[in-house]
Each structure stands twice: as structure tokens, then as C-alpha cells.
Structure 1
Amino acid sequence: MHIHKTAEPYDAIVVGSGANGGVAAKELGERGLRVLVLEAGRDIDPKRDPHHPVRDTARRAFNIATGKQTHQATHPGYWKANPDFFVDEREHPYTTPEHKPFYWIRGRQVGGRSHTWGGITLRLSDYEFKAAQRDGFGEDWPIAHADLAPYYTRLERFFQVQGECDRLAQLPDGDYLPPAPLTPAERELQQLIGDRWTDRQLIHSRGFALHRPTPEQPWSRAASPGSSLKTALATGNVELRPNAIVSHLTFDADSHHASGVAFIDRLTHETYEVRGRVVMLCASAIETVRILLHSTAEHQPHGLANEADLLGRYLMDHISAMQFFWLPGMPAPSESFPLSGSESFFIPRFCNLANPQAESFLRGYGLWGGIQRIGVPSVLQKVGEGEIGFLIGHGEVLPHAENHVSLSPDTVDAWGIPAAHIDCAWSENEHQMVAHMRQEIEATVKAAGGQCYALTDLYHMPAVAPLMRRVEKTLTPAGPPGYYIHEVGGARMGTSPHNSVVNADNQCWEAPNVLVTDGACWTSSGWQSPTLTEMAITARACDRVTTKLRHGFALELDA
């Protein structure tokens, strides 16, 4: 087999072009480094790929009927985006143990899953970074909110995040544009919660406004091609190569450094090797772990030893519960209100704050919601006059070593690369948390004078009702791991090779010029949406590795 090799190394190779890969390319390119971005999927077309309701409905029907997108179709985001922004599961298989489902929702194209990201941007607090010292479970992160604060701020300004400063210890404030208005029903619920409960409050969500495409800006700022990746390419220092499916890292025989990356061209199936002084893995948590596992000494000469057997372990996702509800007798608003990351509301975490063991479970959850924002024609509504809303729980999942990713021994993808085998299940802590979550959601709806309903009982949906009923059954009482698309862990940060895969600067202990900055590096999951924190970690890692490169490339391992 002929392998195409490059002679001159890049300063940095970034694997993945989504939210984290875009930030990595931007940060490194702006610092003058010569950067190659490898994207496993296709390039995108601003004329063909933006959401088109009629075309996308037909594509969904075909893709579901042919088995192309069985798991992808279970997620709500699938029904409001271009389905081509979700993978063909026949080409991209993965395996799970019997009776332990994991819904791996994936997107392979330039921009990755940033095209379908909901755009909620919440900071983590030291309640999350230092949770272990509060309740005794697991490990603390080797960093704190103060370490990420300047990078959070820079990103919030760059992305033009909307929100309001609420002075909550469990949800640090950021640098925001003014918040989007709440709907009349949301303002009433905000007042009711403030009057009824002393331990919680309803706040404006923080994130991106709904994007309205223009010829000059076809992609949302939440999508990397509309923001970070676009800025990176404009530096002239960044080269983007789509259709490059990374198989593994290559290693130098005389050192503990990676020499580069091996990938397969998606279209020609030819194999390439590119060299780089630094490799940054931003491919998404499970894909990054799969690449690292295929880069171990078992599979590659001079590869990672993984002597502590930590690589692939401590996989997490958010435990979630979704509930639709109806508020009767409420007049419709005089204007329409969109639904987006900032155009909605949050009830931040309120459990186990003053006392970390006050409940029957450790850690906590937040509730994301909206009322008067579901743009379905009233003629399709089954219930009477009133307004429809939803509440969705985000629950922190505890890290357990037995929840892990490995390489499937007998399943490969369409390019012959070993597929991921994902073994993950909820623990009793998560079951206790989701029961509490549902109890509090129902109490909130009842206090507002509303009634809880299944979505299929709220709306006529003749074409997809059977599918939606199956999905609702699957999601009761909670969706399976992976469903919420907030998977993190597998190559966690820590203070030594005995408790982690990477150090506080995101360098692999066993290969210090390999940096893991996406969700794979997370030590614990938190309850907040992870993307902003992942991007802040990426920006910080770029800052620190660039400093080391400029001082003679002595990538010493700082704990």
C-alpha cells in the first residue's frame, strides 16, 4: 500500500473543524503558526446546505426509511436542521453491549456538529471544577474557573453572546450583549418562581441569537465556518483539508513525541501521513478517544503505552428529562418569539449547593425551557386555547471507570478503521437525580396552573406520530447515554499519569506534543452545556503551547 507523506512539518495539526477545532485554528493561526486542519467530512456549500424545510423533510423520510439515520433521527435537533449534517450510520458504525444503548449523534462535515449546536453558552463554576473536595467523589479538575475566566471572556466577546449577569455562585457571569426578551408567559413564570421558591430563580438563557442567513453570512456564528474557522482561514496561516479521516497518530522512534497524523482520503481511500510539531485533537470526545486508542503501542509502532489503563475510561454525558406542557387560558402574544440559545430561559442548579449531600444524589442539574416559542401552527394543536412550553433537565453524571470506550474487535467503518465500542450506563445516582428532576418539573408546571403532556398528545403529526411515540417511550424516564450530545471524558485531565491521560495544559503525559482539548479531557461533567468550556480550554491550551514553542519547543509536562 502506497502512503503519501509530506516532507515539511506543520507547526500544528488540528484534528476536527467543529467548535473546538475552529477555535484552535483561530488561536494558533493568529499567533503566526502554520496550521493544518483535518476534517473527516465533506466541505460545505452555502447555497446547498442551509436548512430548507421542504427538501429536508423529504431527505429525512428517505434517510429513516433506508436505515441511514436511525439514532440520529431520535434527537430533536435532527428535525430542524439539514439532515445531511448528521452521519450515515451505515458508513460510520459503532458497537455497544446488548441492552446498554448509547446514542452517538454525529456530524461529519466542515464545521462538524457546530452546525447543529443549540448555542447555549454557560460557564462552569468551582462547584464543578472542585466538586470532589466538596462531596468526596472522584477527582477535582487540575484547573479552576479563574484559569479559564480570561478565555471565557474573550470567547463571549468574539461570539457576541447574549445574556444577563445574575450574580449566582453556581453560574459565573460573563461578558454579554443585552439579553433577548422573555415571552409574556416566561415573565409570569419567572415571577411565580421568585415568589414561591427561595432556592431557585428563572434567568435569561445565555447564548447565540437565532441566525437568519444572508449571502454575506450564510452560517451562524455558533457554527465554526461562520466565526472561528472563518477567522482562522482569513489569517493566511491555516490550511483546511476536508475528507481526511484520521486513523491514528504516528510516533518518532527516538522520543516520546508524535511525529504526525495518518489519515485516509474519504473519496479515494488513499492513505496519507502529515507531520506536525504539535497535534491538537478536537474531533469530539469519543472520536478523539478512538484515535488515541488506535495510536497505542498495541496498534502503532512506538505508540502510547497506556500503562495506567485510563485511556477511554470515565465517559460521561448529561442525564436529561424532557417534558412538554400546556398553560390553559393564556392569550397568545402579540409578536412571535424565536427559540435559540439566548432566546429561552434557564433555572440554574439549585440542589446540593449549601450542603453537598442534602439530596439522595450527589451534584445537581439545571432546567432549560421556553414558553410561547414553539413555531407550530395552531391548527395542528390538539389542546384548547393556551400556550405550550417545555422544560428539559441537564443533570451532572458522575465519572465511573467502567463507563468506557474501546476499539471494537470485529467492526470497522467504511474505510477499514476500527470502530468505537461504547460501554456506558446510568448509575443509581443518575436514576435518583432524574426522579428528582421530573418531580420538580411537574411541581413547576402545576404551580403555573399547567398540565404535562407528551408531544404527540399536544400536536397532530400524522406523518411521524408512530416514530415520535417510539422516541417518547425511549426517553421515559430519561434518554439513554449519548442522547443529549454532551458526551465528555475518556482522556481526562489530572495531576499525574496515575489519575489522568493529560496534564493541566492538556498535554498527553505519554506524548507531550499531543494535546487533547475537546470534551475527552473533562475530569467531571458538570450540569452546564459543555461547548463554551471546551472552547475556553482549547483557547487556553493554544496560548500555553504557543508560549512553549517559542521557547525552544521544550514541551515540559507541568502538572
Structure 2
Amino acid sequence: MSPHPSTEVYDAIVVGSGANGGVAAKELSERGLKVLVLEAGRTPAPTELGNNVKDMAKRFYNLAISKRQSYQSMHPGYWKANPDLFVDEKDNPYTTPPEKPFYWIRGRQVGGKSLTWGGITLRLSDYEFKAASRDGYDQDWPIAYADLAPYYSKLEKFFQVRGTQEGLDQLPDGEYQPTLPLTPAEQYLQEIVEKKWSDRRLIPSRGFGIHRPTPSQPWPMYSSLGSSLKAAIATGNVTLRSDAVVSHAIFDPNTHKARGVVFIDRQTKQAHEVFARTVILCASTIESVRILLHSTEQYQPAGLTNPSGMLGHYLMDHVSTSTFFLLPHIKQTPKPFDLSGCDSFFIPCFSNLASQQERFLRGYGIWGGVQRFDLPNVLRKVGDGSIGFMIAHGEVLPRYRNQIELNPDVVDAWGIPVPHIECAWSDNEHLMLDHMHRQIDEIIKIAGGKSMQLTDIFHVPVFSEFVSRMEEIMAFSAPPGYYIHEVGGARMGTSPTNSVVNEHNQLWESPNLFVTDGACWTSSGWQSPTLTEMAITARASEFISEQLRKGVF
């Protein structure tokens, strides 16, 4: 069936309506540009947030009967959000080698994964952007911290991010609203940690607080629906098209510039062509790479040639491990404190750089909370001590053979070849994991605590077998993809021979086609990536606006 062509030519097509797509739409539309935002999923309603009884019934159906969310259900976020905000895996399949599982956690709806995002906003530093210059592994980013600092600040002010000024070189300060203090148990941990290690700091986390819906603000500020996309639509310069599954970009055979994209209507499965002077991919790391791979000459007339041979390669995620613990000598508070992006703590950044005693490269941080959650006494297996958790997540080295390809033998519900993902941890990640476990165990030990399984702390009715299986899988480390911090696959660099996009996020071979989400990352850093992805998107959007004004595209 031939695609239905559109007659309108937009200034920009933004693919994806999540955290990055929302920022791109806002930055472009506020500069007067006409923007078409394409979203593969449906348009949700605010009433879909926060109905615990209905959500649990849906989880039971999806896991026990339909079995459509096997990978999605392995992530803790699945258990505190509406499962409809996670994909149907039968409609949206992907493949991996049998011995290399990849837990691809996805959300396809207007707002994307920003609706289930934890809301932690950490800046990267030149320790990450210029890591290769220090340790000699792989290559630096073509941009530095100073290039993104103004965009970090602009976004933190817009989103009203909360945090504290700490003066840490490895975690630059931002433009913060006041935040609440640590809990009493966290203050105790802070004293323990900073007394034991002179180079360690336990600080309040940085990010968004708990969302409390109001009629004027039903969506959380950390979601694009409640912030950036909302502001973009308010300009009157944005057309939002949901249920639009983008298949590939289309190109002018003479200039090799992108002319637009082809999308498949999610419900009718009719193909459509839409056109613009620029195309910006913000579909999420693996989805953006999938679109680019399906836009190559192997699949499309006048398609991309991938001159560097790097498209799809250097996929990364954060290596992570989690531990629950009990501080029996500190009583749980009568009412748990909030747990959110800013209502928690961080210990940044454990690295081999200071002592050179450890054999792993790069670094990691620990996110945690104590006295942040509890359950009724009838579900508690332990006494009245304080319950806490710590999650370490660290930088994964970029490696060529961690990659995304298309599997032409398997297609999704719209006939598009699916990604084949091959990704595994290297010896460096295993050495880092060993260090993570030793550090967390020592912190808990000197604090007088006890490491415990979640099933040892709480009675988990109905889902106890499932939770036990999840804990067993995650015992030493979560598999790639699980932490939902995947980046890479269309890396940024200094030339067409060492990268897919340049410092302004333009494809080297098609300069009006941009990739601004996690796919463009050169290395992964250890920090939560969303704020940096949005800063990169804001910077690229400013560049795109200037180029369009000059008539370059």
C-alpha cells in the first residue's frame, strides 16, 4: 500500500514526545517555528495515574494471563505506575542472542517514558565528557561541560528542580529550588559515611518532588505533558500527531538531505509521508537507532550509507545492583517520608582515579533512601527498625560489539523490522560490580545495619514467587537494559570516520537530520542521563533554529 503524502512542509518534525521530544518542541516552537510532533503511542488521560486497585488488577492479568509484559514487569517502576504506560511486548517485539538477555523497558504514549521517570536530575562533568583523555580508553565527547552548562541551568529553572549546592567537582551544582532535609536515618548514614571516608559525601538527591495533582496541573512537572510539551503546544506552533509509528526517514536523492519521514498509523496501519525542512529524532535511544537503520540504503531508496560503519554500535546502559537493608536500632517513623527524585540521597562518585587501587575504569554513584517507605505491620516480617535501600549504578565502557541491528525475519505489529540487541557486561563492569557490593556492604555494616531480601522484610501476597524470581535474577547485577539508562548507537564525534553525528547532533551524511536523545552519546557517564539528554536537545534546537533562520536547510 503506497503512503499517503502530506501537502504541508513543516519547519521541523520531532519524532517522540517524551522528555527530549518535549524539549525540542518547546525550544523550536517558542522561536516561531512550525513543528510536527509524532508519537508512536496513544494519548493518555490524567485519570490513568494513581489508581492502585485497577493497576494491580491489570498487572495480574498481564503477567498471569496475557503474558504481554514479561520484561516490563521486571522493573520496580512497573509496580508503582499504571502498567498501561509500558509497552505491549507482543505488538512490539525485539530479539537478542539467547545467552545475552536485554531488558528493554519502554513506554509508548504521548509523554513517553517521562510519565514513569524517577525524576533525578544530575549534571555530567568533564570527568565524563573528557574521560578518554584521562584514562586512554576510546574517545572523548566533541563537547565539554561548558558547552552544556547554560542549557542545564535553563532547564533546571524551567522544571523547578530541587537540590543543594555542594561544590563537588564530580557532580556540578545547578540552579535549584530549596529541598527538604534528609531523614533522621539518612543524616545518621551521612555522618557514618563522611567520618569513615574523607573523600566521600552523602548529599540530598537532585530532581523533582512528589507530584500532587491539581485541576490546573494534572500531569507531573517531570513529564513532558506537564511541562515542556505543554509549553510547546501553548505556543500554537505545534501539531501533535499520536498513534504515528515512524518507520524511516526519506531523502532527496540529489542533495541527500532528509525530506521527512514515513509513519504507520497505529490503528489503521495505513502508511503516511510527512515533510519538513529538518527532522529531529527524540524517539529514545534504541528506537532512534532503529529508525536510522531502517533509513539506510539497504532498506530505502537514496538511504543512508553509514560511512563510519558505527551506526548501531557502542550501545551502553548503566551497570547496577540494588540492596535492601534494615537499621534495627533506628525506629521507622510513624509516617514514611516522600521518596522522589529529590527526596532521597546520593553518594557520588566512587572511582579508581583517587587511589588507583582498583582495576576498573571510570566510576559509579549510589542512590538510596531510608525511612522513605513502609507497609502496614501485618505485612512486616521484621521489627520496627528503619528500612532502606541503596542502588549503585556505574559507567559502562563503550564497546563496538555492544550493538543494535535490524532483524529482517521478525517484524512488529506494523510490519517494521525489529531491533536485534546484543549487549553484555565486560570484565570492567564485573570488577566495578564487585566494588559496588563491597562498598554497600561496608556502609551497611558500619551503620549497624543488616542486608536483607525484600521478601525477608515484607510478606508479599500473590506476587511472592514473582518477587523472589526477580530478586534471584538481580542478585549480583541487573542485566543490560534493566536500569533504563541505555545510550549510544549513533555516537557523537569529531569526524565522519569516528562517529555518526557531529557536535551539533547532525548526521554527517545528512545535515538536516538530527539525533539528540541518548543515541548520540559517546560514553555513558554514571549519572542519570535524562537531564543531560534534554540539555543536548535544547542546545541542538537552538542551533537548528539559527540554521533555519539563515536558510541553510
Q: TM bucket by the smaller chain?
A: over 0.9
Amino acid of the structure 1 residue aligned with 2:327: L
Question: Hey, what does 1:494 align to over in structure 2?
Answer: 493
Does the aligned pair in 2 maintain the 1:50–1:218 contact within 8 Å? no
Q: CA deviation at 1:332?
A: 2.8
Question: Hey, what does 2:434 align to over in structure 1?
Answer: 435
Amino acid of the structure 2 residue aligned with 1:463: V
- Cα distance in 1 for residues equivalent to 2:150 and 2:269: 42
Query: 1:44-79 deviations in whole A, cap 9, x for unaligned?
Result: 1123x1121000000000011121100000000000
Question: Hey, what does 2:262 align to over in structure 1?
Answer: 262
Q: Report matched runs for 1:115-514 at 5 Å.
A: 115-333=115-333, 335-354=335-354, 357-514=356-513
Percent identical pairs in the alignment equals 63
- Cα distance in 2 for residues equivalent to 1:222 and 1:282: 17
Question: Hey, what does 1:58 align to over in structure 2?
Answer: 57
Q: Does 1:548 align with 2:547?
A: yes
- Cα distance in 2 for residues equivalent to 1:315 and 1:55: 36
Amino acid of the structure 2 residue aligned with 1:136: G
- Cα distance in 1 for residues equivalent to 2:268 and 2:55: 28
Does the aligned pair in 2 maintain the 1:199–1:350 contact within 8 Å? no
Amino acid of the structure 2 residue aligned with 1:144: A
Query: What is the DSSP-based 3-state SS (H/G/I as helix, E as strand, rest coil) of the residue aligned with 1:421?
Result: strand
Question: Hey, what does 2:528 align to over in structure 1?
Answer: 529
Aligned CA-pair RMSD: 0.9
- Cα distance in 2 for residues equivalent to 1:8 and 1:55: 42
Question: Hey, what does 1:557 align to over in structure 2?
Answer: none
Unaligned 5+ segments in structure 1 are: 555-559
Query: What is the DSSP-based 3-state SS (H/G/I as helix, E as strand, rest coil) of the residue aligned with 2:393?
Result: strand
Query: What is the DSSP-based 3-state SS (H/G/I as helix, E as strand, rest coil) of the residue aligned with 2:410?
Result: strand
Amino acid of the structure 2 residue aligned with 1:402: R
Q: CA deviation at 1:329?
A: 2.3
- Cα distance in 1 for residues equivalent to 2:374 and 2:313: 41
Query: What is the DSSP-based 3-state SS (H/G/I as helix, E as strand, rest coil) of the residue aligned with 1:398?
Result: coil
Does the aligned pair in 1 maintain the 2:123–2:172 contact within 8 Å? yes
Does the aligned pair in 1 maintain the 2:424–2:480 contact within 8 Å? yes
- Cα distance in 2 for residues equivalent to 1:488 and 1:51: 29
- Cα distance in 2 for residues equivalent to 1:487 and 1:343: 24
- Cα distance in 1 for residues equivalent to 2:296 and 2:331: 61
- Cα distance in 2 for residues equivalent to 1:214 and 1:468: 34
Does the aligned pair in 2 maintain the 1:321–1:475 contact within 8 Å? yes
Query: 1:386-439 deviations in whole A, cap 9, x for unaligned?
Result: 010000001100000000000012110001000000000000000000010010
The two structures have a TM-score, normalised by structure 2, of 0.99
Does the aligned pair in 1 maintain the 2:248–2:291 contact within 8 Å? yes
Query: 1:160-215 deviations in whole A, cap 9, x for unaligned?
Result: 00000100000000000012221110011111111111121100000000101122
Q: Does 1:45 align with 2:12?
A: no
Judge which range, 106-115 or 545-554, deviates more: 545-554
Question: Hey, what does 1:92 align to over in structure 2?
Answer: 92
Q: CA deviation at 1:334?
A: 5.3
Query: 1:477-499 deviations in whole A, cap 9, x for unaligned?
Result: 00100000000000000000111
Unaligned 5+ segments in structure 2 are: none
- Cα distance in 1 for residues equivalent to 2:351 and 2:45: 45
- Cα distance in 2 for residues equivalent to 1:201 and 1:482: 28
Q: Does 1:6 align with 2:10?
A: no
- Cα distance in 2 for residues equivalent to 1:368 and 1:58: 30
Question: Hey, what does 1:538 align to over in structure 2?
Answer: 537
Query: What is the DSSP-based 3-state SS (H/G/I as helix, E as strand, rest coil) of the residue aligned with 1:7?
Result: strand
Q: CA deviation at 1:8?
A: 2.5
Does the aligned pair in 2 maintain the 1:10–1:276 contact within 8 Å? yes
Query: What is the DSSP-based 3-state SS (H/G/I as helix, E as strand, rest coil) of the residue aligned with 2:77?
Result: helix
Query: What is the DSSP-based 3-state SS (H/G/I as helix, E as strand, rest coil) of the residue aligned with 2:288?
Result: helix
The two structures have a TM-score, normalised by structure 1, of 0.98
Does the aligned pair in 2 maintain the 1:122–1:532 contact within 8 Å? yes
Does the aligned pair in 1 maintain the 2:332–2:387 contact within 8 Å? no
- Cα distance in 2 for residues equivalent to 1:32 and 1:144: 29
- Cα distance in 1 for residues equivalent to 2:30 and 2:404: 34
Does the aligned pair in 1 maintain the 2:336–2:373 contact within 8 Å? no
- Cα distance in 1 for residues equivalent to 2:360 and 2:44: 44
Q: CA deviation at 1:335?
A: 4.7
Does the aligned pair in 1 maintain the 2:209–2:342 contact within 8 Å? yes
Stretches (4+) displaced over 6 A = none
- Cα distance in 1 for residues equivalent to 2:283 and 2:376: 39
Question: Hey, what does 1:109 align to over in structure 2?
Answer: 109
- Cα distance in 2 for residues equivalent to 1:361 and 1:319: 13
- Cα distance in 2 for residues equivalent to 1:251 and 1:505: 20
Does the aligned pair in 1 maintain the 2:374–2:387 contact within 8 Å? no
